[in-house]
Amino acid sequence: MYDFHCHTTMSDGKLLPTELIRRMAILGYTEMAISDHADFSNVRELIRAEMAVKRSAELYGIRLFSGIEITHVPPDQIDELAKYAKYLGAEIVIVHGETIAEPVAPGTNAAALSSAYVDILAHPGLIKEEDVSLAAKNEVLLEITSRGGHSHTNGHVLSMAHHAGVDIVVESDAHELGDLMSEHMRYMVARGAGMSESEAKKVLSQTFDSLFLS
């Protein structure tokens, strides 16, 4: 089990990094990323802190990846910040997409999907066909999420991803304990978005290596 989109007390989450890691280990996760909200003011500190708890994660049986979620950053700065985050050691760069639940700047999806340094576009809302084509071209993953508000467009995101041949991840965008998904709930979120049983099992069994290194 994986989840590369989780928040802690380093941004607006409610769990310390190590408690989050422990809670996820108990649920059966083997791979995760801490990907707190980031802009130019805090990206360096976030990545340094995440690296400091990698040993703790290892002791709990979890492969922890250092990540960030670029959030409400002007579209013209997204590529620059993503590149800087990778330079600092981020292993997963997520961009907070144009969810219908928040006033994300128009053009954020396109900017994220045009960057060579972005790995996942989170909750992209009513993503446009031309933007999905960018995702396919640049091999950026699109997210199906269990988070309230953001999840309202899961069906649209999955349909557009299927049309363009874009790979999907299913993630929690967890901010507190109650947001963490059990194995059953992950499956139900995938099925609820419109995945077949076989597709859900395939998507949910991916690993960091199969997603980003293959």
CA distance 20 to 140: 26
Q: Which two tokens stand for residue 143?
A: 């997210």
The pTM of the full predicted model, rounded to 2 decimals, is: 0.98
Most distant CA pair in the chain: distance in Å?
Answer: 44
Two tokens, residue 109: 């999806």
Annotation: CATH topology of 2-204 = TIM Barrel (3.20.20)
Query: pLDDT 10s per residue in the chain (214 long)?
Result: 999 999 999 999 999 999 999 999 999 999 999 999 999 999 999 999 999 999 999 999 999 999 999 999 999 999 999 999 999 999 999 999 999 999 999 999 999 999 999 999 999 999 999 999 999 999 999 999 999 999 999 999 999 999 999 999 999 999 999 999 999 999 999 999 999 999 999 999 999 999 999 7
Q: Are 172 and 145 in contact (CB under 8 A)?
A: yes
Residue with tokens 């700065």: 77
- Within 8 A by CB and 6+ apart from 180, the residues are 3, 23, 24, 27, 172, 174
**According to the model, what pLDDT value does residue 214 have?**
79
Give the three-class secondary structure for 141. Answer: strand
Q: Which amino acid is at 44?
A: R
Phi and psi dihedrals of 161, rounded to 5? -65, -45
Contact at 8 Å (CB) between 147 and 180?
no
Looking at the DSSP assignment, which residues form a beta bridge with residue 109? Answer: none
**Cα separation, 88 vs 64, whole angstroms:** 16
